[in-house]
Amino acid sequence: MSKLFDLIQGQDRPLKILKRAIESNRVPTAYLFTGPPGCGRKKAAIAMAASLNCETSELACGTCISCTQVEAGIHVDLHVTAPEPGKTEIVIGQVRNIIERAYLMPMQGRHSIFIVDDAHTMNINATNAFLKTLEEPPVTSRFVLIAPDRDSVLPTISSRCQVLSFAPLGRGVIRDILKKSGVGGERAKLLSSMARGSMERAFTYHSDEVPEKLADEFEPLASLHKSDDKKLLDLAERWGRNREEALGILYFMAQWYRDMMILSLDGPEDQVIHISHLPELQEGATALKEGSLSTILEAIEDARDDLKKNTNVELTLDRLLLTIRSYAPEQPI
């Protein structure tokens, strides 16, 4: 049994591979852990780090001084790097700090472990500097890069790492964790559907009261295809006051039209996220053809990409809403 590994749920396959490598003393110099945020990637990296310096067993016991220090993030041989607060990139200065420490002997344990969270945000200079370390790795150091998928980092980096893919968490897993944390049954069910496989997202949605905040948007979404230009422009203004809130609306909108797509394909209703609004969703699925729904989902994804590139929020929403409205079925004369 390993306390730290036991904390990770729904990831039997990658954890089995990781544990086997640790137990056989064949941990590669570098791993790339991929998967959605909140699916257990970082917890697995912490469990690996604890195992490599555990004082009592091959897999992290979770109770020795070394394990408790790793779990608390205060072990001198554990180094976690991520974009600095308010920044979107990992820069070369941060990577140089990793390189300097990586070639020193561990101060307390047997290995130095370097976790690079959001490794896909390393800028080109940082990436090139890090690549040199992976090409000539120090014997006592191990690296774990965490990113959404293999293609989000340069091939020169991913090719020098063993890739472990962590799957999105199942709705049942997320729902059970939420319920154990004191979230009510119906709310846990809704949040587990909205979370898209991410425990982190589920807890954020819960603490930020996202379901309540989005409740006011069901009516305008349901009537979007019947709205005139003024109503669409008013919605774009209302939804476009804040970039982060606008991105949240677009995630919500994508869920709404995804639900319609499932219904239009006669998919199972238990896969529908906003099941409490089934009549409105069925009406929309009937009115819009499958091809239109696919195009609308692509347009929403394009708008999300544009907002992440710092385009004007309100204008981006204007274009999107007018595009969606253009797929409204023709009204009988």
pLDDT tens-digit map of 23-81: 999 999 999 999 988 899 999 999 999 999 999 999 999 999 999 999 999 999 999 99
> What's the predicted TM-score (pTM) here?
0.76
The H or E element that residue 299 is part of is helix 290-308
Both tokens of residue 27? 């941990």
Question: What does the pLDDT read at residue 183?
Answer: 92
| pLDDT exceeds 50 at position 332 | no
**What strand order describes the sheet that includes 162-165?**
78-81, 112-116, 141-147, 30-34, 162-165
CATH 3.40.50.300 fits 3-165, yes or no: yes
> What residue segments make up the domains of the chain, in order of their start?
3-165, 171-208, 209-325
Q: How far is CA 46 from the centre of its chain?
A: 18
Question: What does the pLDDT read at residue 330?
Answer: 54
Report the SS3 class of residue 150.
helix
At the topology level of CATH, where does 209-325 sit? Zinc Finger, Delta Prime; domain 3 (1.20.272)
Q: Which residues, including other chains, have CB under 8 Å from residue 131's CB and lie 6 or more apart? A: 154, 156, 157, 160
First-to-last C-alpha distance (Å) of the chain: 70
The string of pLDDT tens digits covering residues 161-216 is: 999 999 999 889 999 999 999 998 888 988 888 888 889 889 988 988 887 777 77
